[in-house]
Each structure stands twice: as structure tokens, then as C-alpha cells.
């Protein structure tokens, strides 16, 4: 076994596309994903799972039908399962996601923003 830390900034440097999560680690039945985002995503929910957002660099909002939570680097928020939300960021933001393996980024709202699942970096 090799004991090597995972460098998030190096991993972020390996891709440029936005709204397409990349898996960097597995923790039991969960994937740890990195994603770059800018602009507004789509309204969606995940009926079967909570979703953890942790901002690594930049600022983002998670909009809800009844309010918004704003996050900056070093802050995190867990969206409860079944809650409709829409992530957004005025400028590119780098985030870490924690969610069960196989979770589709658009949840119940498949469409053109649905990213391929299972992409490791």
C-alpha cells in the first residue's frame, strides 16, 4: 500500500469543464467528488440521499424555493434528501461533494446538464 496524500488543487488542475463531477476517492459506499461550477445549475432534488457541498475555492449559493444559503471557501452545507435546490456561482467555484456512489448530479431532473457518472480523476 502506498501512503500518499491526495492534493485537491492538483486534481482540480487536471480538468476544466464545469458541472461535471470527478471522483477522487471512495469512502465506504460514498464517492468524494470535485467539481467546478459557474453560472446557474438546474432545479433538482435527490430523493434517496443528502448531498454535502464544501467550497474549496470561490463562493457559491445554493438556492431553495424558500431561501438561499451562501458559502465561501472553507464552508460547507448539507442539502437534506428530497429538498429541491439549485447551486449557482457568479464566478468559477471549486467544490468538493460527498454523496453515495452512483448519485447522478441532476437527481430527478435529467437533461443536458446530466454528467456521466463514475468518472475518476
pLDDT in tens, 90-99: 999 999 999 9
Share of the chain above pLDDT 90, in %: 87
How far is the C-alpha of 71 from the C-alpha of 61, rounded, in Å?
6
Residue of 107 and 53 predicted with greater confidence: 53
Mean pLDDT score of the chain: 95
Look at residue 91 in the predicted model and tell me its pLDDT: 98
Look at residue 83 in the predicted model and tell me its pLDDT: 97
pTM of this prediction exceeds 0.85 = yes
Look at residue 1 in the predicted model and tell me its pLDDT: 83
Owner of C-alpha cell 453515495: 100
Domains of the chain: 8-100 (2.60.120.10)
Q: How far from each other are the two terminal CA atoms of the chain, in whole angstroms?
A: 19
E-strand ranges in 1-121 read 22-27, 30-40, 51-57, 59-64, 67-72, 76-79, 85-100
Amino acid at each position: 500500500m502506498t501512503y500518499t496524500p491526495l492534493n485537491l488543487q492538483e486534481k482540480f488542475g487536471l480538468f476544466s469543464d464545469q458541472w461535471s463531477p470527478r471522483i477522487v476517492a471512495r469512502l465506504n459506499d460514498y464517492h468524494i467528488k470535485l467539481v467546478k461550477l459557474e453560472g446557474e445549475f438546474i432545479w433538482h432534488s435527490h430523493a434517496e440521499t443528502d448531498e454535502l457541498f464544501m467550497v474549496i475555492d470561490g463562493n457559491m449559493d445554493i438556492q431553495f424555493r424558500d431561501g438561499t444559503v451562501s458559502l465561501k471557501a472553507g464552508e460547507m452545507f448539507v442539502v437534506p434528501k428530497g429538498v429541491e435546490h439549485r447551486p449557482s456561482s457568479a464566478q468559477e467555484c471549486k467544490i468538493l461533494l460527498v454523496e453515495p456512489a452512483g448519485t447522478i448530479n441532476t437527481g430527478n431532473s435529467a437533461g443536458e446538464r446530466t454528467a456521466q457518472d463514475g468518472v475518476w480523476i
